[in-house]
A and B are shown apart, each in its own frame.
Chain A
Amino acid sequence: MMTKNIRREDMSRAAIVHAILLTYTLVALYPIFLVIINAFKSRKGIFSAPMSLPNAETFSLEGFTKVLARSNFELFFFNSFTVTVVTIVIVLLLASMAAWALSEYKFPGNTWLALYLAVGIMVPIRLGSVSILNLIVELGLINTLTALILVYVAQGLPLAIFILTEFMHQIPKDLKEAARCDGVGEFKIFFAVILPLIRPAVATVAVFTMIPIWNDLWFPLILAPGDGKQTITLGIQQFIGQYVTDWNAVLASLSLAIIPILILYLIFSRQLIRGLTSGAVK
């Protein structure tokens, strides 16, 4: 009797839990779903039956045809991809080097340097835009992807250093001591022993670096707004600006921007949580 009651209670509790989770999942996904289904409809279909799936009568690819003919989506996507990947690689390398030095070596001002490097977590780089624009103009880097990469590296470093320093404190002492006893040089210890060890934290750092970069509108808008150097986010903003009245094109361009990032996310999401829970951020 007892156990039966408990089981029934468990069942109803599980039902409530799943009802809550399902509801929120629906809230999170439905708007995205709505955009994607309407991207495959004709103008009439979009307006007369916005919530129904495209059928034989309303199915149309005219939005996509227009987007692909009239804009450089492949190029914008490639720009975003280049900027994001290069930035992540540089951030990971430089941040782990700095984090290693901060966590491993005792030197005067160690704590202060760590604090100095952490300021950037709290202060948004956007507030320095006026001077960044001047600096980039002076360096002759306006409308280049390099300008974006430099700024994004500076923006990504503080949090990455912070996360990786915490992480490196947990690397067992024996490992490096063993290497030192064998007379391995400090550079080699880092590149051969330590760097491979931070893999669990890589996904976390990569995601936290990637989200703000991939989705940024501000710096592409002021540093690289033209010349075929637009990122996908800016490209979308500009494209939608050009075709606001044409809902087919608007919905198709939104879908084209959403789908790649969601695929990337689905591939990496497991690693992201594993990285988070293996003690990278606590």
Chain B
Amino acid sequence: MAHSGPMTDWRKAKLPVFAFLAPATIIYTLFMIYPLIDSIRLSFYTTPSGGEMAFVGFDNYRTILGDPDWSATFWNSFWNNMKFFAVHMLVQNPIGIALAGILSLPQLRFRNTYRTMMIMPTMLSVVIVGFIWQLILSPVWGVGVDILDIFGLKSLFGPWLGKEGSALITLSFISVWQWVGIPLMLIYAALLAIPDDLVDAAIVDGATHFEVFLHIKLPLVLPTVAMVSILTFVGNFNAFDLIYAVKGALAGPNFSTDIMGTLFYRTFFGYQLQLGDPSLGATVASLMFLIILAGVLFYLFAVQRRLARYQL
């Protein structure tokens, strides 16, 4: 990974360097960094209906974290989001790693076909995925029951999407089904980059492919696994579409599928007879920003550093 760094002195080419950097930096600053900072600013203001914006300091934060109704809603969505993330970490990433490991076995036939097919759900829109699974799991249509019946497990079927205890987990699994392609792709690419002689040497020494994977390949791709984890974290705490498409903005039953994205949407835009509140919405967004930032910093300082030390 180590490279030499930039070589050419910029003073020989001031204009080109500026021209190369300016467009990207400007669009990025204007449509990404400025809105993010402005959202944080907005969270310190309030807009009464029809009135002027007024500075209120940390009042909005006090409302969301201090008011019993708001804080219950906020922490409920936070913990739901943690569960959503945990399922992805415990199911999506291990499956992705395992499939990538199998796909990278030498002399595997139909490798490309398998890989192409397995990544297919990742290409679909979340909205479409949500509807597909809603139809399959619908007790009215009965496809879910029929499929379980093939394996003699008919009795296990339940209205999973409608039960408080299982709705969130079911949605997490739907999301896993869709996104397995990402860890699969990234880790597969990293596995292919491992030099063949390392593996061959071990095989000659009598190691099985499984042992090679566990003791040689996996440690080498750990940095990619860590990167996939942090991408999962950011993606999950930013999720919205699936829950919205399947359960609506009210994220029922009894808010058991409410995650930070749906809470943000509801607070900002309102729902049913309740009207939206832009400054409280911005406050929720800022809190989400802090949570994601905390996760990313943890990754940068705790995980990545330690990993870097183990690398050659």
Contacts and interface: CB of A to CB of B under 8 A. Distances in A.
Interface stretch (B15-23, B74-82, B85-93, B151-159): B15-23
B31 A135 contact: yes
Contacts of B292: 122-124, 127
A158 interface: yes
Interface in B168-183: 177, 180
Interface string B21-41: 101110110111111101100
B296 interface: yes
B95 to A, nearest CB: 8
Range class of the B interface residue count: 35 or more
Interface in A231-282: 232-233, 236-237, 240, 247, 250-251, 254, 257-258, 261-262, 265-266, 269-270, 272-273, 276-277, 279, 281-282
A126 B240 contact: yes
B192 A32 contact: no
Interface stretch (B57-65, B107-115, B197-205, B211-219): B107-115
Contact of A50 (B8, B127, B143): B143
Given A34-B136, A129-B285, A119 B33 contact: yes
A244 B240 CA distance: 21
Contacts of B102: 17, 20-21
A215 B126 contact: yes
A113 interface: yes
A113 B25 contact: yes
A95 B95 CA distance: 33
Contacts of A85: none
B142 interface: yes
B226 interface: no
B3 interface: yes
Contacts of B285: 127-130
Interface string A47-91: 100110000000000000000000000000000000000000000
Contact of B35 (A116, A128, A233): A128
A120 interface: yes
B3 A169 contact: yes
A120 B13 contact: no
Max chain A Cβ within 10 angstroms of own Cβ: one of B108, B131, B234, B288: B131
Given A273-B189, A276-B186, A103 B125 contact: no
Nearest to B121: A28
B33 A258 contact: no
A24 B27 contact: no
B102 to A, nearest CB: 6
Nearest to A122: B296
Given A128-B35, A217-B127, A101 B20 contact: yes
A101 B42 CA distance: 35
A89 to B, nearest CB: 13
B72 interface: no
A217 B126 contact: yes
A173 B185 contact: no
Contacts of A185: 16
Contacts of A217: 125-127, 240-241, 244-245
Given A122-B230, A127-B36, A217-B245, A17 B108 contact: yes
A111 to B, nearest CB: 9
A35 interface: yes
Nearest to B288: A127
Max chain A Cβ within 10 angstroms of own Cβ: one of B128, B133, B230: B128
A24 B35 contact: no
A46 B15 CA distance: 65
16 contacts: A106-B8, A107-B10, A117-B24, A127-B285, A129-B285, A130-B38, A131-B282, A154-B31, A170-B3, A217-B241, A247-B135, A265-B120, A265-B123, A269-B115, A277-B192, A282-B189
Given A265-B123, A276-B189, 19 more contacts: A101-B17, A101-B20, A106-B7, A120-B28, A129-B285, A130-B268, A130-B278, A131-B35, A131-B38, A153-B31, A170-B3, A185-B16, A186-B12, A217-B126, A217-B241, A218-B241, A237-B245, A269-B112, A273-B188
Interface of A: 17-18, 20-21, 24-25, 27-29, 31-32, 34-35, 46-47, 50-51, 94-95, 97-98, 100-107, 110, 113, 116-117, 119-120, 122-132, 134-135, 150-151, 153-155, 157-158, 161, 169-170, 173, 185-187, 190, 211, 214-218, 232-233, 236-237, 240, 247, 250-251, 254, 257-258, 261-262, 265-266, 269-270, 272-273, 276-277, 279, 281-282
